[in-house]
Chain A
Amino acid sequence: MFLSAVPQPSSQPGSRMSRHQQQQQQQLQQQHRTTLRLTDNVVEVKSKFEAEYRRFALKRNGPGGFTAFYRLLQTIHRIPGVDVLLGYADVQGDLLPINNDDNFYKAVSLANPLLRIIITKREDEPIVFATNSLQRRKKGLGLTGLRSSGFDSTRSKNKPGLMIGLPQNFRQISSIIDVDILPETHRRVRLHKHGTHKPLGFYIRDGVSVRVTQQGVEKVPGVFISRLVRGGLAECTGLLGVNDEILEVNGIDVAGKSLDQVTDMMVANSHNLIVTVKPANQKNNVVHRGSRTSMGNSGSVGSAGSAGSALSHDSPSPASQSNPITASNSIAEGDSDDDDDEGDLILENDSLTLYDSSRVTNSNNTNLNRDSPSNRPFPQSVSLPNSVGASLSDSSVLMSNHNGNPAHTSSSSQESMREDGNIITL
């Protein structure tokens, strides 16, 4: 990662703060606004932390991601070790968060020409990102200034802004995956039942599927979604619809399987269900753009999201274009053997007490530490597998962590997830 910057108030222009040695060297010069405007590939950054402003320049297409940028800001503001939240003001005047590579690149790419960064301490009262949270002065000209006195005052308009919560307040409940390896007519949807209390909420039925073969049109038996339960996970995502044909369940072709078999397969995989469907409505398919791989693992719909907005994430955003992600193999991920392996809840009672039926059921004051080295000190111990433990303690941390590294390939993200799982439970 390579980012260096010189804070504007510094009296030593040209000093370099390189922190890594990599093949790609990046230079950042201390420059004035006027000179900076002349170069297209440099972004002018103005960051604010509490009452302090810093200005510096950033290469638009330079490498490095959110983490590097975050560290850079910490250095510039001389607040190393302080946990902060980053936000930026976009063209429409909305204050939007920067907390991963995606929205970082997005912010950089949209800077026109100035990128305004607002840094807040995490311990502070959480700021509310919202539309119209920043006062828009002039149409299309971006912001010329920011009020220094918090953002709540900016919301004192008649029209309340639409609330956008922090990403860590969301849990991923569904995603479209493997867009790049599937035919355009198919859609592979992953439903994360994990941790939500919503029912999966759909029904399937037998039906007749029409296939076009070399011999002509052929009718074969198929399995279709027959009904979506209102308020269920399937309906909320908007990714599945009535009469969608089910082609695969967690990577296994359902052709030739009976309705009951498909039902059992889905129920058995319900904790992490990946269904490949051929949507009945083919209008909203993901369109492949040339040779460019579109982004896998991109779409995520918050639980607050409505069905109507579901397809918005299908279209690749500029951010994703600027940072293509290698295709993830959903099957490997979905079928990862260990995600439910650790799911069993095991209660052990090693204390030698006489039989008492109420004993076991009341043993809820349990130790959540799965990797506790010895059970001896604890007469009763509960081993909670990491995933469950995570979901019980703070599943959002896990999920945001997972989302925070979209540049990883699936396998590495899987691994990091596993490692993180143990850390989180501690």
Chain B
Amino acid sequence: MKRFRRHGQESQRDRLKQELFQFNKTVEHGFPHQPSALGYSPSLQLLAIGTRSGAIKLYGAPGVEFMGLHDENAAVTQVHFLPHQVELVTLLDDNSLHMWTLKAHTGLSELLEIGRFTLTGPPGAPPSVTRVTAVLAHSSGELLLLGTEGGHVFIVEVPGFRELEERNISLDQVASSVPDDYFGRRNLEHVEALQENPVNPNQVVIGYGRGLMVIWDLEKQSAVQHIPATQQLESVWWTEDGDYLLSSHSDGSYCRWMVSGVNEEEEKSDIPYGHFPCKAISKIIQLPTEEGPPFLLFSGGMPRASYGDRHCITVIHGKTHVALDFTSRIIDFFAIRDGPQHTGRQHTGDPSALVVLVEEELVVIDLLTEGWPVIQTPYLVPLHSSAITCSHHVSAIPLKLWERVLAVGDLQSTHYSKKPWPITGGQNLAPDPPQRDLLLTGHEDGTVRFWDASGVCLYPMYKLSTAGVFHTDADPNDNMNQGTEGEWPPFRKVGCFDPYSDDPRLGVQKIHLCKYSGYLTVAGTAGQILMLELNDEAAEQTVEAKVVDLLQGQEGFRWKGHTQLDVREEPVLFPPGFQPFALVQCQPPAVVTALTLHSEWKLVAFGTSHGFGLYDYQQKNNVLIKCTLNPSDQLAMEGPLSRVKSIKKSLRQSFRRIRRSRVSLRKHHVTNSNKLQEANARLEAELAEMELAPVQRKIEARSSDDSFTGLVRTIYFADTFLSDSSHNTPSLWAGTNGGCVFAYMLRLPPVEHRAEEPVTAQPAKEIQLMHRAPVVGIVVLDGHGAPLPEPLEVAHDLARSPDLQGSHHLLVISEEQFKVFTLPKVSAKMKLKLTAVDGSRVRRVGVSWFGSSRSEDYGESGLVVLTNQGDVHVVSLPNVKMQVHYPCVRREDVSGIASCVFTKHGQGFYLISPSEFERFSVSTRCVVEPRSLVEVPLHSSTQRRPQPDGASSAHRNARQDSEDAESAAKRVMEHALLNDEKVLEEIQKSLEGDQTSILENNVKSAVA
């Protein structure tokens, strides 16, 4: 009977788990790692980026994002949208072509791979014959022209990838008609470029590597004209009027050729940065303007010796000539034109924006505004403009603080263009985020960046620099100014990627923001803890530094690490925003490893590898200093330099890895079977060598003598029952690497005397966990088993006040287990072992609230845990039972695991590359994911391939008109009603079903 009942409860619990938890990786924030290809669809207004890891990402209006991943682990080398369609073609490093489409499904579009194709040459032909080097998506939307390394052009029907063999343009066909006097006629080399005549879709120009360009008529299947350029060809551009061809070459020159149809004629040739040898111009485009001179844009072409290392795009418009100097290698660029859409291949109108993809960021330049300012990108922002060293998430920001941060952020971005974001494809159908969330990232250069993490776009709000407080070697204005007047080439630096840090000691290690009071504390590598306050005005002030000696008289130690930072003693002018008003410097200046802030008590607590301290930032003095150092722990004392040993080890390992990879590389490249065997033998020998010196792991119980046992891992404030069960008191808790928990009772003077009377702390408890695993989290649970609310949360009526009637419990989370103790008398009550059972260890932990997906008012708190195996676990509170677990991060991705932060509502972020956060959700209710719709462009419906050429054009036009009106109406409405979920749903339905009838319903409901 008992068992039966229990079974019922368990199944009920299982059902509840399903309502509470589900795992989703929802969206990737930031800039894709190692981008390798760029594509743009003027008709869809979508941008596509392919990466070296085989990912393809599409971006439109902010919030409109799609992502796909090729099965092959090969780099994407080219991305081409089929004109006026929702399909796009990708070319991979392994010579495979892939067709992707945006399929609308239940009102949302998703990116799907619908086909793959690899060119097959005639039997026996070398692989170079079919190695694709150039791709042209023909404006008909039905043809794909593939130029190959062998010099052939294959024509393929899309989207089905049907080879049209009879229309292929073989090298022989072309070579036979090349004029005899062309010096390179024997070897034209590979197809470098393919361009379509903007005014005559039957004509394409085939540019060969050797320099020769051939205008080919697809209909007549014959060469129309030969253009005998003699320099190695880099790119070809056909001007919009169809009259000229521009070719760029490897010697840094470009040429303009008249397309006459009769004779070849070089109209103009120029080496823009000439005289001395120049680097290749890798891409050139020219766009006309309504009135005035055209825009000429090209990348590269810099003088090899003096500026060969610059990554430049030159923009020439009339008399204006600027060489935009980018921060990293240019992948590709394109221009957006603001004119109305044309039925032809191109947009008309003046170029409005230049979009440049460089290796580390995406830069968009406003070409319509004087001075060509940069437009702030709403997505694809490089998170790693300086390396991310830590992150901190704050959920549900009060509107007031939000607006103030936005306002001070706006003051910082005055140099950005005021123009709206020019890429506007698709509709963002995601509901408005339920709350305002902030993600704060700390960086190596001492900056803290504030990101709007509420929705799909991680939007930069504000950037705080802490470097100004200290004397640093470099002048902040150094190198930032423009070059002197008259400099040639006329460089202008653009982009924000700047990985070079003036002083590694500035690096931000811990951040804590109080969202109610606007107090922020930032702690760094050299033991500095800054207290900052949000101020809407600029202020000039000196920052008072207080040194805290954490050694507390422990002797015989020598700090061999870095010195502490020099504080500027003179007043410093701080811009509006978070301004520092107090500074604590730990001595020895070791990395701050734990930090917390209690804005109600006006206390900040911090810990390093030597101990922890409590600082009263109202009275600006130290309340408590506790040394946690084990006297025999030399390693902790000496500081980072003593890690030489491990560096040596890692060096050895990396050398070994290099050697191994060299072997495998060789294996990959040799074709000769003899060599292959040789490489195999070497590989085996390598393996045998590894066998001789295997990786060993010592099995030893932890002891108090281990290194860094005194390192403070976590620090926590709680108002709880520390000494007796009738009076709750403020308390401070600290957990160390050696499995020790210290608890201090705090006595705060009454509010009216807070400024004069001292705050005192007295030791109350000390718990040494027997298993001695590092303590990574401490939480006090109230009488209901719920975690205590944050400081000021209750005062702001945003949280239920904690239950002070029932008995409180202390939850200590070590790397190995979760343990609940009673309070005020500390005795073990419950525990959950993790490591002893499955060998994984807790790396990151957070307390989250999970709402049920079924009933609005049910929810429960839980611990979210990320283990060193990369698994996410949810552990129930207060009875510490394992609820669910999901694989999340690869276990080898140590930095990804270390970077993980959890939100208060069951989401999390971790770095998947130095520049990208993956966002995931363990909650059923709190899921932020892109929900967007991209409609098939209007023209495609008329030019769709199933319709034979003979279809009546009148009919087509009529249909198009009606659709035009319909979609316009729809769009207006969707703008108006985007926030109304009910209407949204109906709109989605309407998109699936009968459009007009439901549209009327929509209108009715909108009116009502």
Cα separation A227 to B827 with both chains bound (whole Å): 39
Bound CA–CA A356/B760 (angstroms): 11
Best-surrounded residue of A261, A267, A341, A350 (most CB of chain B within 10 A): A267
A310 at the interface (CB under 8 A from B): no
Q: Kindly state whether residue B1 has any CB partner on chain A within 8 Å.
A: no
Select the stretch in B125-133, B391-399, B831-839 that faces chain A. Answer: B831-839
Q: Known: A265-B836, A267-B700, A360-B766. Contact between A342 and B825, CB under 8 A?
A: no
Is B192's beta carbon under 8 Å from chain A? no
Contact A341–B831 (Cβ < 8 Å): yes
Chain A neighbourhood of B827, CB < 8 A:
346, 383
Q: Is A288 an interface residue (CB 8 A)?
A: no
A269 touches B (CB below 8 Å): yes
Judging by beta carbons under 8 Å apart, are A268 and B835 in contact?
yes
- Chain A proximity of B738: nearest CB distance (Å): 12
User: With A357-B552, A375-B825 given, is the CB distance from A268 to B764 under 8 Å?
Assistant: no
Assess the B760–A348 pair: CB atoms within 8 A: no
Bound-complex Cα distance A227 to B723 (A): 49
Instruction: Confirm or deny: A213 has a beta carbon within 8 angstroms of a beta carbon on chain B.
Output: no
Residues of B within 8 A of A271 (CB): 701, 770-771
Q: Is the CB of B770 within 8 A of A388?
A: yes
Contacts of A261 in B (CB 8 A): 838-840, 869
Who on chain A is nearest to B763 by CB? A360
The answer to whether A357 and B625 have CB atoms under 8 Å apart is yes
B342 part of interface (Cβ distance < 8 Å): no
B1007 within 8 Å of A by Cβ? no
| Beta-carbon contact of A265 and B835 below 8 Å | yes
The stretch of B112-120, B140-148, B634-642, B690-698 in contact with A is B690-698
Query: Is B627 within 8 A of A357, CB to CB?
Result: yes
Closest-by-CB residue of A relative to B812 is A344
Asked if B208 CB lies within 8 Å of chain A CBs, one says: no
Q: Are A343's CB and B838's CB within 8 A?
A: no
Is there a chain A Cβ closer than 8 Å to B762's Cβ? Answer: yes
Asked if B698 contacts A203 (CB within 8 A), the reply is yes
Interface of chain B residues 751 through 767 with chain A (CB within 8 A)? 760-767
A92 to B1003, CA, bound (A): 109
Residues of B within 8 A of A262 (CB): 697, 839
Instruction: Give the residues from 815 to 841 in chain B that come closer than 8 angstroms, CB to CB, to chain A.
Output: 816-817, 819, 825-828, 831, 833, 835-841
Inter-chain contacts of A348 with B (CB < 8 A): 764-766, 825-826
Could you name 19 residue pairs across A and B whose Cβ atoms are closer than 8 Å?
A199-B701, A200-B700, A201-B700, A205-B696, A206-B694, A250-B836, A261-B838, A268-B835, A268-B839, A344-B819, A346-B767, A347-B768, A352-B762, A353-B762, A355-B761, A355-B762, A356-B762, A357-B763, A385-B770
CA distance A265 to B761 in the complex (A): 38
Against B, the Cβ 8 Å flags (1 = close, 0 = not) of A348-366 are 1110111111011000000
- For the complex of A and B, 5 pairs with smallest distance between CB atoms: A343-B770, A261-B839, A270-B701, A268-B835, A347-B766
Interface stretch (choices A93-101, A155-163, A252-260, A289-297) = A252-260
Query: Using an 8 Å CB-CB cutoff, how does the interface string of B839-857 with A read, 1 for contact, 0 for none?
Result: 1110000000000000000
Nearest A residue to B761, CB-CB = A355
B462 within 8 A of A: no
Given the interface pairs A206-B695, A260-B697, A347-B766, the reply to whether A252 lies near B837 with Cβ below 8 Å is yes
Would A355 and B699 be within 8 Å (CB), given that A265-B835, A271-B771, A341-B831 are in contact? no
Instruction: Say yes or no: is A248 at the interface (Cβ < 8 Å to chain B).
Output: no
Q: Chain B contacts of A392 at CB under 8 A?
A: none
Contact partners of A344 in chain B: CB under 8 A: 767-770, 819, 828
Asked if A193 lies at the interface with its beta carbon under 8 angstroms from chain B, I say yes
Q: A252-B838, A348-B826, A349-B765 are in contact. Are A268 and B773 (CB under 8 A)?
A: yes
Q: Tell me whether B744 and A355 are in contact (CB under 8 A).
A: yes
Does B702 count as interface, using CB distance less than 8 angstroms? yes
Q: Is B317 an interface residue (CB 8 A)?
A: no
* Known interface pairs A257-B839, A352-B723; A203-B765 also in contact (CB < 8 Å): no
User: Is B770 a contact of A259 with CB atoms below 8 Å?
Assistant: no
- Give chain A interface residues in 233-278, CB to chain B under 8 Å: 250, 252, 254, 257-271
Q: Is the CB of B624 closer than 8 A to any CB of chain A?
A: yes
Q: Is the CB of B697 within 8 A of A205?
A: yes
Q: Which residues of chain A from 73 to 89 have any CB-CB distance to chain B below 8 Å in the complex?
A: none
Does B568 sit at the interface, judged by CB under 8 A?
Answer: no
Cα distance A260–B869 in the bound complex, in angstroms: 10
Residues of A within 8 A of B770 (CB): 271, 340, 343-345, 385, 388
B626 at the interface (CB under 8 A from A): yes
Q: When chains A and B are docked, how far (Å) is the Cα of A342 from the Cα of B773?
A: 15
A226 to B838, CA, bound (A): 22
Number of B residues contacting the other chain (C-beta, 8 Å)?
49
- Chain B residues with CB under 8 Å of A258's CB are 839, 891
Q: Contacts A346-B827, A388-B770; is A355 near B763 (CB within 8 Å)?
A: yes
Chain B residue with Cβ nearest A353: B762
Interface size class of A (residues with CB under 8 A): 35 or more
Docked complex Cα distance between A359 and B763 (Å): 8
User: Which residue of the partner chain B has the closest CB to A360?
Assistant: B763
How far is it, in angstroms, between the C-alpha of A76 and the C-alpha of B457 when the chains are bound? 92
**Across-interface contacts of B833 in A (CB, < 8 A):** 268
Q: Given the complex of chains A and B, what is the CA–CA distance between A207 and B691 in angstroms?
A: 8
Interface string of B730-747 (1 = CB under 8 A from A): 000000000000001000
Q: Which residues of A contact B724 (CB under 8 A)?
A: 350
Task: Tell whether A204 is near chain B: CB-to-CB under 8 Å.
Answer: yes
Could you tell me the distance between the alpha carbons of A336 and B700 in the complex, rounded to whole angstroms?
A: 21
In the complex, A53 has a CB within 8 A of chain B? no
CB distance from A344 to the nearest CB of B (A): 5
Which residue of the partner chain A has the closest CB to B690? A206
Bound CA–CA A337/B829 (angstroms): 12
Minimum CB distance partner of B762 in chain A: A355
Residues from chain A with a CB closer than 8 A to the CB of B828 are: 341-342, 344
- Min distance, Cβ B241 to any Cβ of chain A, angstroms: 65
Say yes or no: is A151 at the interface (Cβ < 8 Å to chain B). no
Q: Encode B862-874 as 1/0 by CB contact (under 8 A) with A.
A: 0000001100000
Q: Does A202 make an interface contact (CB < 8 A)?
A: yes
Encode A368-389 as 1/0 by CB contact (under 8 A) with B: 0000000100000001010010
> Taking the nearest CB of chain B, how far is it from the CB of A233, in angstroms?
10
Residue in chain B with minimal CB distance to A208: B691
* Min C-beta distance of A127 to chain B, whole Å: 37
- Complex contacts, B768 vs chain A, CB 8 Å: 344-347
Q: Do B838 and A204 touch across chains, with their CB atoms under 8 A apart?
A: no
Residues of chain B within 8 A (CB-CB) of A345 are 767-768, 770
- Chain B residues near A227 (CB-CB < 8 A): 696
Q: In the complex the two chains form, is A349's CB within 8 Å of B836's CB? A: no
Which A residues lie within 8 Å of B773 (CB)?
268
Determine whether the beta carbon of A346 is less than 8 Å from that of B697. Answer: no
8 further interface pairs, Cβ-Cβ under 8 Å (given A203-B699, A345-B770, A346-B765): A205-B694, A226-B696, A252-B837, A257-B838, A264-B839, A265-B839, A270-B702, A349-B762
Complex-state Cα separation, A356 to B700, whole angstroms: 35
Q: Are A347 and B723 in contact (CB under 8 A)?
A: no
**A205 to B838 alpha-carbon distance, docked (Å):** 18
Q: Which of B695, B761, B817 has the most CB of A within 10 A?
A: B695
Minimal beta-carbon separation of B869 from chain A (angstroms) = 7
Contact check, B696 vs A270: say whether CB atoms are below 8 A apart: no
A388–B770 Cα gap in the complex (Å)? 9
**B699 with A268: CB separation less than 8 A:** no
**For B760, B819, B828, which residue has the most chain A Cβ atoms within 10 angstroms?**
B828
Alpha-carbon distance A354/B759, docked complex (angstroms): 11
Which residue of chain B is the closest to A193 with respect to CB atoms? B701
A204 to B624, CA, bound (A): 44
Measured between beta carbons, the chain A residues less than 8 angstroms from B841 are: 264
Q: How far is the CB of A25 from chain B (nearest CB, A)?
A: 42
Q: Annotate B931-954 by CB proximity to A: 1 below 8 A, 0 otherwise.
A: 000000000000000000000000
Contact B700 A270 (CB under 8 A): yes
| CB < 8 Å neighbour of B702 from A207, A267, A375 | A267
State in angstroms the CA–CA spacing of A268 and B768 once bound together: 15
Cβ-defined contact, A204 with B723, below 8 A: no
**Complex CA–CA separation, A347 to B761 (angstroms):** 17
